[in-house]
Chain A
């Protein structure tokens, strides 16, 4: 069930962020606040970005913000933040509006969430409903629907 991986209240609309670091902070904030991961997880994402670049920008619209299971993860969980004003993670990169935060305690417990992401952002997916969503419930419903496909 997607409900175990993603909560309605963790599907959030936000106007803007000032830079990519704030984008990472904002996207992970619900997961840290609710104890699914610790601050060390955010730190790991920042450090990995310095080392490897913006490895989590997977399409022109979406970043799947995550680090490895070892970096302060307590329980598997996702959160989705949709920005009204997109953010660039690198100078020549796309302006991303959809931030999906993921912490996973092992390599398979988040399978259903990844399947939903794959369905929405894959070749036959449709991103527009998320970009047009007017509240968190609408965002959640799109993920719940995609997880069933």
Chain B
């Protein structure tokens, strides 16, 4: 997989859910010793595919990212453990494309 520089979290309004996921993702990256990766958040509407290397999105808006190359779908928005486990899987992928959705 190409180097991951940027992870972008998306939700409807771009204020609450995506920021909660960003904070958890940053915490997870710290725990994974990958604080070289930057995390941002915004409304899903304004997002372009080239804006980040991995996109993190809640289940309700996942359909909008169907054609994006690297996507993590979060079921429990408030859960740190879920985002941690899914980021760990994402960052160990050898393939350049993935869709990580099912909980472990």
Contacts and interface: CB of A to CB of B under 8 A. Distances in A.
Interface of A: 48, 52-53, 55-56, 58-59, 64, 66-69, 102, 104, 107-108, 110-111, 114-115, 117-118, 121-125
B91 interface: no
Contacts of B60: 52-53, 55
A69 B43 CA distance: 10
Interface stretch (B14-22, B49-57, B96-104): B14-22
A122 B78 CA distance: 5
22 contacts: A48-B13, A52-B12, A55-B60, A58-B77, A68-B12, A68-B43, A69-B13, A69-B14, A102-B16, A104-B15, A107-B14, A107-B19, A107-B41, A110-B15, A111-B19, A114-B16, A115-B23, A118-B24, A123-B78, A123-B79, A123-B80, A123-B81
Nearest to B81: A123
B23 A56 contact: no
Contacts of A124: 80
Interface string B1-28: 0000000000111111101100110000
Interface centre among B15, B16, B41 (most CB of A within 10 A): B15
Contact of B20 (A68, A69, A107, A117): A117
Contacts of B17: 55, 58, 64
The dominant DSSP class at the B interface is: mixed
A75 B44 CA distance: 23
A67 B15 CA distance: 8
A59 B78 contact: yes
Contact of B42 (A53, A107, A117, A125): A107
A52 B61 CA distance: 9
A110 B16 CA distance: 9
Nearest to B13: A68
Contacts of A123: 78-81
A32 B94 CA distance: 51
Interface string B64-101: 00000000000001111100000000000000000000
A90 B13 CA distance: 20
A118 B20 contact: yes
